[in-house]
Amino acid sequence: MKPGRQSVIMEIISERDIETQHQLLQALAERGVKTTQATLSRDIKDMRLVKELGPKGNYRYVAARLDQEDFDERLRKIFKESVISFDVAQNLVVIKTLPGLGQGACSAIDAMDIRGLVGSLAGDDTLFLAMRDNESANALFHEIESNI
């Protein structure tokens, strides 16, 4: 249901200017999609919809546009500013961050398309990166070392 509803939301905002959640709820209802304001609000957040000034001078919902290079640079900055220490233990890379920043640093790692990364696990201030083998873990360790 969620993917279908979100697909209809994208169709609606691409076809016409929608200024409010109420208007979006009405447009969904016109297409036979029943939902609540709370669910719609979560969809807007999940889909990263934002309001921008339209050509007619009114605000409307649109999908956020992120420049991929800018996005990647932001992730790298988050990672650099949150890491306190890091070490390697066989095929695991363990990274310590400032308290509360483990998940943000892990999200940055996940978005970096790291060769040999099998999976990641984040806590409040610790990341465990499972690498395919010891060699991949050592390569990542040295990559982190040279960039922090």
For the chain, the domains span: 2-63, 68-147
Q: What pLDDT sits at residue 37?
A: 93
**φ and ψ at 61, to 5 degrees?**
-75, 135
Q: What is the pTM of this model?
A: 0.53
Fold of 68-147: Gyrase A; domain 2 (3.30.1360)
40-62 confidence digits (pLDDT tens): 999 998 888 888 888 888 899 99
Instruction: Tell me the CATH class for 2-63.
Output: mainly alpha
Q: How far apart are CA 46 and CA 37, in angstroms?
A: 14
Interstrand relation of 83-89 and 59-63 (parallel, antiparallel or unpaired): unpaired
Which of 98, 99, 96 lies closest to 129 in space, CA to CA? Answer: 96
Average pLDDT of the residues of the chain: 88
Q: What pLDDT sits at residue 57?
A: 86
63-112 confidence digits (pLDDT tens): 876 555 666 677 678 778 889 999 999 999 999 999 988 888 888 888 77
